[in-house]
Amino acid sequence: MEALTPLLALPVIPELGRKLCVEMGFEYPGQIPDQENFKRRVLDEQIAEERRLGAFLGDRSTVDAWVLWQRWNICQAMSYDTESFYLKARAQTEFYTDIIYIPPMFVVEDDGVRWTDGDYQKQIDRLVRMTLYEWNLLDRTYTVKSVNDRLADVFNWLKSRGED
Protein backbone atom coordinates (compact mmCIF):
# COMPACT_ATOMS: atom_id res chain seq x y z
CA MET A 1 0.00 0.00 0.00
CA GLU A 2 2.84 2.38 0.80
CA ALA A 3 4.09 1.98 -2.77
CA LEU A 4 0.67 2.93 -4.20
CA THR A 5 0.40 6.14 -2.18
CA PRO A 6 2.72 8.31 -4.33
CA LEU A 7 1.36 6.82 -7.56
CA LEU A 8 -2.26 7.56 -6.70
CA ALA A 9 -1.73 10.68 -4.57
CA LEU A 10 -4.25 9.46 -2.00
CA PRO A 11 -4.06 9.74 1.78
CA VAL A 12 -3.64 6.53 3.76
CA ILE A 13 -5.91 5.45 6.59
CA PRO A 14 -3.73 3.43 8.95
CA GLU A 15 -4.90 0.41 10.86
CA LEU A 16 -7.18 2.27 13.29
CA GLY A 17 -7.63 -0.58 15.76
CA ARG A 18 -3.95 -0.45 16.62
CA LYS A 19 -4.04 3.36 16.91
CA LEU A 20 -7.11 3.31 19.18
CA CYS A 21 -5.62 0.59 21.32
CA VAL A 22 -2.55 2.73 22.05
CA GLU A 23 -4.74 5.80 22.67
CA MET A 24 -6.64 3.74 25.25
CA GLY A 25 -3.35 2.92 27.00
CA PHE A 26 -2.97 -0.71 25.89
CA GLU A 27 -0.22 -2.44 23.93
CA TYR A 28 -2.52 -4.78 22.00
CA PRO A 29 -6.28 -5.22 21.60
CA GLY A 30 -6.47 -8.43 23.67
CA GLN A 31 -5.69 -6.38 26.77
CA ILE A 32 -8.79 -4.19 26.40
CA PRO A 33 -11.42 -5.36 28.90
CA ASP A 34 -14.52 -4.17 27.02
CA GLN A 35 -14.00 -5.81 23.62
CA GLU A 36 -17.50 -5.11 22.31
CA ASN A 37 -17.19 -1.35 22.79
CA PHE A 38 -13.67 -1.42 21.37
CA LYS A 39 -14.89 -3.15 18.18
CA ARG A 40 -17.76 -0.66 17.81
CA ARG A 41 -15.36 2.22 18.33
CA VAL A 42 -12.99 0.88 15.65
CA LEU A 43 -15.89 0.64 13.18
CA ASP A 44 -17.15 4.14 14.02
CA GLU A 45 -13.64 5.62 13.69
CA GLN A 46 -13.11 3.79 10.38
CA ILE A 47 -16.36 5.13 8.96
CA ALA A 48 -15.66 8.67 10.20
CA GLU A 49 -12.17 8.69 8.68
CA GLU A 50 -13.37 7.23 5.36
CA ARG A 51 -16.12 9.83 5.10
CA ARG A 52 -13.79 12.65 6.10
CA LEU A 53 -11.28 11.76 3.37
CA GLY A 54 -13.67 10.61 0.63
CA ALA A 55 -10.91 9.03 -1.48
CA PHE A 56 -8.22 7.07 0.34
CA LEU A 57 -6.06 4.00 0.60
CA GLY A 58 -6.76 1.98 3.71
CA ASP A 59 -4.92 -0.80 5.48
CA ARG A 60 -8.31 -1.82 6.85
CA SER A 61 -11.92 -1.09 5.92
CA THR A 62 -15.40 -1.66 7.25
CA VAL A 63 -15.24 -5.07 5.55
CA ASP A 64 -12.35 -5.94 7.87
CA ALA A 65 -14.21 -4.59 10.89
CA TRP A 66 -17.19 -6.84 10.09
CA VAL A 67 -14.99 -9.87 9.42
CA LEU A 68 -13.16 -9.48 12.71
CA TRP A 69 -16.47 -8.95 14.57
CA GLN A 70 -17.70 -12.25 13.13
CA ARG A 71 -14.50 -14.11 13.96
CA TRP A 72 -14.19 -12.80 17.50
CA ASN A 73 -17.88 -13.48 18.19
CA ILE A 74 -17.99 -16.81 16.37
CA CYS A 75 -19.40 -18.77 19.30
CA GLN A 76 -22.01 -16.21 20.30
CA ALA A 77 -25.56 -16.15 19.01
CA MET A 78 -26.42 -13.38 16.57
CA SER A 79 -27.82 -10.42 18.45
CA TYR A 80 -29.39 -7.07 17.66
CA ASP A 81 -25.98 -5.61 18.44
CA THR A 82 -24.42 -7.82 15.77
CA GLU A 83 -27.13 -6.91 13.26
CA SER A 84 -26.55 -3.22 13.93
CA PHE A 85 -22.78 -3.64 13.44
CA TYR A 86 -23.38 -5.59 10.22
CA LEU A 87 -25.75 -2.99 8.76
CA LYS A 88 -23.46 -0.08 9.62
CA ALA A 89 -20.38 -1.77 8.11
CA ARG A 90 -22.24 -2.88 4.99
CA ALA A 91 -23.81 0.54 4.38
CA GLN A 92 -20.38 2.17 4.37
CA THR A 93 -19.17 -0.14 1.59
CA GLU A 94 -21.70 1.45 -0.77
CA PHE A 95 -19.24 4.36 -0.98
CA TYR A 96 -16.31 2.13 -2.03
CA THR A 97 -15.40 2.47 -5.69
CA ASP A 98 -12.40 0.10 -5.73
CA ILE A 99 -11.29 -2.63 -3.37
CA ILE A 100 -7.88 -4.24 -3.55
CA TYR A 101 -7.93 -7.65 -1.94
CA ILE A 102 -4.62 -9.25 -1.06
CA PRO A 103 -5.08 -12.90 -0.09
CA PRO A 104 -2.58 -14.49 2.30
CA MET A 105 0.67 -14.70 0.35
CA PHE A 106 3.30 -14.59 3.05
CA VAL A 107 3.83 -15.48 6.68
CA VAL A 108 2.50 -12.78 9.00
CA GLU A 109 5.24 -11.24 11.12
CA ASP A 110 4.72 -11.43 14.86
CA ASP A 111 4.34 -7.78 15.80
CA GLY A 112 2.59 -8.45 19.09
CA VAL A 113 -0.80 -7.48 17.65
CA ARG A 114 -1.62 -9.58 14.59
CA TRP A 115 -2.40 -13.25 15.01
CA THR A 116 0.19 -15.31 13.18
CA ASP A 117 -1.55 -18.70 13.31
CA GLY A 118 -2.02 -20.07 9.78
CA ASP A 119 -5.46 -21.54 10.50
CA TYR A 120 -6.64 -18.23 11.90
CA GLN A 121 -5.37 -16.45 8.76
CA LYS A 122 -7.31 -18.93 6.60
CA GLN A 123 -10.49 -18.31 8.62
CA ILE A 124 -10.13 -14.54 8.20
CA ASP A 125 -9.42 -14.92 4.50
CA ARG A 126 -12.50 -17.10 4.01
CA LEU A 127 -14.68 -14.58 5.87
CA VAL A 128 -13.32 -11.71 3.77
CA ARG A 129 -14.06 -13.53 0.52
CA MET A 130 -17.55 -14.51 1.72
CA THR A 131 -18.27 -10.90 2.73
CA LEU A 132 -17.07 -9.49 -0.59
CA TYR A 133 -19.38 -11.94 -2.35
CA GLU A 134 -22.40 -11.47 -0.06
CA TRP A 135 -22.17 -7.69 -0.16
CA ASN A 136 -21.92 -7.66 -3.98
CA LEU A 137 -18.48 -6.06 -3.94
CA LEU A 138 -16.73 -8.44 -6.33
CA ASP A 139 -17.28 -6.19 -9.36
CA ARG A 140 -15.32 -3.46 -7.53
CA THR A 141 -12.62 -5.81 -6.24
CA TYR A 142 -9.24 -6.62 -7.69
CA THR A 143 -7.61 -9.73 -6.25
CA VAL A 144 -3.83 -9.57 -6.24
CA LYS A 145 -2.42 -12.74 -7.75
CA SER A 146 1.34 -12.41 -7.32
CA VAL A 147 3.50 -11.09 -4.51
CA ASN A 148 6.19 -9.88 -6.91
CA ASP A 149 3.87 -8.11 -9.34
CA ARG A 150 1.21 -6.81 -6.97
CA LEU A 151 2.01 -3.09 -7.31
CA ALA A 152 2.02 -3.16 -11.11
CA ASP A 153 -1.10 -5.36 -11.20
CA VAL A 154 -3.07 -3.04 -8.94
CA PHE A 155 -1.95 0.10 -10.72
CA ASN A 156 -2.88 -1.36 -14.13
CA TRP A 157 -6.28 -2.47 -12.82
CA LEU A 158 -7.03 0.98 -11.42
CA LYS A 159 -5.95 2.63 -14.69
CA SER A 160 -8.25 0.31 -16.63
CA ARG A 161 -11.13 1.49 -14.44
CA GLY A 162 -10.30 5.15 -15.07
CA GLU A 163 -8.95 5.74 -11.56
CA ASP A 164 -5.64 7.37 -12.48
pLDDT of 30 over the 70 cut: yes
3-state class (DSSP) for residue 66: helix
**What are φ and ψ of residue 2, in 5° steps?**
-60, -35
Domain ranges of the chain: 4-151
Q: Which helix (H) or strand (E) holds 21?
A: helix 16-23
Each residue of 35-86: pLDDT tens digit?
888 989 999 999 999 999 988 888 788 998 888 888 877 655 556 678 888 9
Q: Which helix (H) or strand (E) holds 17?
A: helix 16-23
Confidence of residue 127 (pLDDT cuts 50, 70, 90): very high
The DSSP line for the chain is -TTHHHHHT--EE--HHHHHHHHTT-SSGGG-S-HHHHHHHHHHHHHHHHHHHSS-EESS-HHHHHHHHHHHTTTSPP-HHHHHHHHHHHHHHTT-S-EEE----SPPP--SSS---HHHHHHHHHHHHHHHHHTT-GGGEEE---TTTHHHHHHHHHHHTT--
pLDDT score of 12: 86
pLDDT of 130 over the 90 cut: yes
Q: What's the mean per-residue pLDDT of the chain?
A: 83
Give the Cα separation of 71 and 156 in Å (integer).
33
Give the Cα separation of 128 and 72 in Å (integer).
14
Each residue of 109-126: pLDDT tens digit?
776 666 677 788 888 899
